[in-house]
A and B are shown apart, each in its own frame.
Chain A
Amino acid sequence: RKEVEQDPGPFNVPEGATVAFNCTYSNSASQSFFWYRQDCRKEPKLLMSVYSSGNEDGRFTAQLNRASQYISLLIRDSKLSDSATYLCVVIFRSANAGGTSYGKLTFGQGTILTVHP
């Protein structure tokens, strides 16, 4: 089982639609969660952090379900400009071969969203 898995996509939705992505993680000790947006041939950019109580930023809502080990991203009133790849990122503490603690970042494979007129 992959450490982080996202909905396979792609998602094709009309403008104004509501769309939701899920991302499951396997390590129950995971500490931090994020959604990144990546436009074609560009670097990923932070969309929003995901907090335990859930958080909202305009049309975007992120939620964390620790019991079921997944995070979600909801986009309301989709715009053409929302078309992009959405990546979930999970961080958990791990230790390398020498015993040094570090934060391991794992990305989901990304979900492609296309919003059409």
Chain B
Amino acid sequence: DGGITQSPKYLFRKEGQNVTLSCEQNLNHDAMYWYRQDPGQGLRLIYYSQIVNDFQKGDIAEGYSVSREKKESFPLTVTSAQKNPTAFYLCASRPPLRAFSGANVLTFGAGSRLTVL
């Protein structure tokens, strides 16, 4: 079955460490996204990528980095520069955008929960 796999599901980090969250999809989607969700809050966009070897900053990119070397993979690195990294991180992908279509559905991975000790 096609889908998005995020790993690890739970991750603990010491202050000052960089950590990388994995996101892999076999849906053949070009567009991939990383969101952050804090308790009781909505989703905030960190980075997105429309195509391989291209990515753009979202609303809260500071302290994060990404790469898109393969269509299937969009890893997110939470760097030590991110001052408050404890959150639920969600990766998502979407098929090519179609005008006025209900087919532009975003599919999410199960998420990675990062806690800073």
Contacts and interface: CB of A to CB of B under 8 A. Distances in A.
Interface residues of B, number: 29
Contacts of B45: 105
Interface residues of A, number: 27
Interface of A: 31-32, 34, 36, 41-46, 49-52, 87, 89, 91, 93, 96, 100, 102-103, 105, 107-110
A31 B104 contact: yes
A93 B96 CA distance: 12
Q: Could you tell me the dominant secondary structure of chain A's interface residues?
A: strand
Interface of B: 31, 33, 35, 41-43, 45, 48, 50, 54, 56, 88, 90, 94, 97, 99-111, 113
Contacts of A50: 102
Interface pairs A-B: 6 shortest CB-CB: A49-B102, A109-B42, A103-B97, A43-B108, A32-B104, A107-B43
B43 A44 contact: yes
